[in-house]
Amino acid sequence: MIHNSSPTIVVIGCGVIGLSSALSLQEVLRNDKSKSSWQVVIVSKEWPTSIPGAPTHHSIEYSSMWAGAHVRPIPGTTEQLRQEGLWLKQTVSKFNSLLKAGNQIGLALAPAIEVFEAPGNGYKAQTAESFEADSGLKGYRELTAEELPNGTVLGFEYESYCINSPVYCGDLLRKFIIAGGKTINATLRSVDEASIITPNVQFVVNASGIGFNDSKVFPIRGHIVLTNSTCFDKTITRQNMDGTWNFIIPRFFSGGTVIGGTKEPHDWRRQPDSATCHRLITGVQDLKQHVLSNGSPSQPENMSVIQEIVGRRPAREGGLRLEIEFPGNMNSTESKLPVLHAYGAGGRGFEISWGVAESVAELARSLMVKLDQIKGRLARL
């Protein structure tokens, strides 16, 4: 039941950004006695129920269901990457505490290996100290020449996280509901529609992945193959000279293994194609040998394909939009509501999720102070 009288924050979107933000907003309200009557409502057209291979279906835009996913830090060589790096470090810290609180949440600590045919300067300059200081991830070690797969010139390993994305998002949604969160199933035509979807909305958080008619938003097509393999206990990523990628991401918690993958900006094709599928499966053979010959206790097995998947990463020129948009006239009782935008996470939504959620919480705190001031002013009129 939604309490009609409760002041409400509406979050649009039930992807990893909307869910993490909604949980952080609940914490903000819990910690502020003056907001004890407030509630958070998630409005979304799709919800985390996906089990690839079962007859459930999600659109390719619902990125959080298709993500591998793993945490893979990228050197901070641009302003956007530096900001994302800060969010990643906050996320790693939160993942640590989530795992301490319970380990059946779709999140697993696992070794990661990265190898490169032509690494950029940022990767070449990395050291164990700088890597841990920048990401919070431990166990960094550069691979020796003998350990590198054919054709690669640099490689390293570290302790990272693999996420079974549908399971993890389902867990976040359950936590949100247990903490009093409410849900509305709806397809919104505009952000403004969210402000009247339930009574007494105070402001809206737009975590809709691709936003609403933002010309800076574009898809990065991701073609991956979900297999039934359970023999991998690490994730490995290979960046090739021609810009292509090969990666293996175990989806722990009975989710098989993701064999990837493509990163194709502005590519709107919806269907998987057999040539790419073949390239991914063949390309991974070398990595497979490498991973399994380096201490994994499991044996190779015959992999079979559960599903060829295409998902769209919700990218945005300049990176994630994180800001409050104020309506024209905030001092009028009839004006539109402020909107806190948090969309356009691109290919990194899981690994930056808790950093973004903490920024959403900070912005929400400042917005609530401002709304209280405006209400005080209007009451005195």
Ligand X SMILES: Cc1cc2nc3c(=O)[nH]c(=O)nc-3n(C[C@H](O)[C@H](O)[C@H](O)COP(=O)(O)OP(=O)(O)OC[C@H]3O[C@@H](n4cnc5c(N)ncnc54)[C@H](O)[C@@H]3O)c2cc1C
Binding site for ligand X (CB under 6 A): 12-18, 43-46, 61-64, 66-70, 187-188, 207-209, 222, 224, 261, 311, 313-314, 343, 345-351
184 vs 330, beta carbon nearer ligand X: 184
Report the sign of the C-alpha dihedral through residues 107, 112, 117, 123, in that order.
Answer: positive
126 vs 165, beta carbon nearer ligand X: 165
Identity (one letter) of the amino acid at 110? A
131 vs 333, beta carbon nearer ligand X: 131
CB 232 within 8 A of CB 248: yes
187 vs 299, beta carbon nearer ligand X: 187
How large is the C-alpha radius of gyration of the chain?
Answer: 22
73 vs 149, beta carbon nearer ligand X: 73
Taking the complex as a whole, the smallest distance from the CB of residue 186 to ligand X amounts, in Å, to: 6
Taking the complex as a whole, the smallest distance from the CB of residue 221 to ligand X amounts, in Å, to: 8
What is the token pair recorded at 338?
Answer: 């402020």
Taking the complex as a whole, the smallest distance from the CB of residue 155 to ligand X amounts, in Å, to: 18
46 vs 308, beta carbon nearer ligand X: 46
Taking the complex as a whole, the smallest distance from the CB of residue 267 to ligand X amounts, in Å, to: 12
Taking the complex as a whole, the smallest distance from the CB of residue 144 to ligand X amounts, in Å, to: 27
Taking the complex as a whole, the smallest distance from the CB of residue 350 to ligand X amounts, in Å, to: 3
Annotate the chain with three-state secondary structure: CCCCCCCEEEEECCCHHHHHHHHHHHHHHHCCHHHCCCEEEEEECCCCCCCCCCCCCCCCCCHHHCCCCECCCCCCCCHHHHHHHHHHHHHHHHHHHHHHHCCCCCEEEEEEEEEECCCCHHHHHCCHHHHHHHHCCCCCEECCHHHCCCCCCEEEEEEEEEECHHHHHHHHHHHHHHCCCEEEECCCCCHHHHCCCCCCEEEEEECCCCCCCCCCEEEEEEEEEEECCCCCCCEEEEECCCCCEEEEEECCCCCCEEEECCCEECCCCCCCCHHHHHHHHHHHHHHHHHHHHCCCCCCCCCCCEEEEEEEEEEEECCCCEEEEECCCCCCCCCCCCCEEEEECCHHHCCCCHHHHHHHHHHHHHHHHHHHHHHHHHHHHC
Taking the complex as a whole, the smallest distance from the CB of residue 294 to ligand X amounts, in Å, to: 21
114 vs 145, beta carbon nearer ligand X: 114
Taking the complex as a whole, the smallest distance from the CB of residue 17 to ligand X amounts, in Å, to: 4
Taking the complex as a whole, the smallest distance from the CB of residue 329 to ligand X amounts, in Å, to: 26
Measured between alpha carbons, how far is 14 from 186 in angstroms, rounded to an integer? Answer: 11
351 vs 358, beta carbon nearer ligand X: 351
Annotate 1-35 with three-state secondary structure: CCCCCCCEEEEECCCHHHHHHHHHHHHHHHCCHHH
Taking the complex as a whole, the smallest distance from the CB of residue 146 to ligand X amounts, in Å, to: 28
111 vs 222, beta carbon nearer ligand X: 222
91 vs 126, beta carbon nearer ligand X: 91
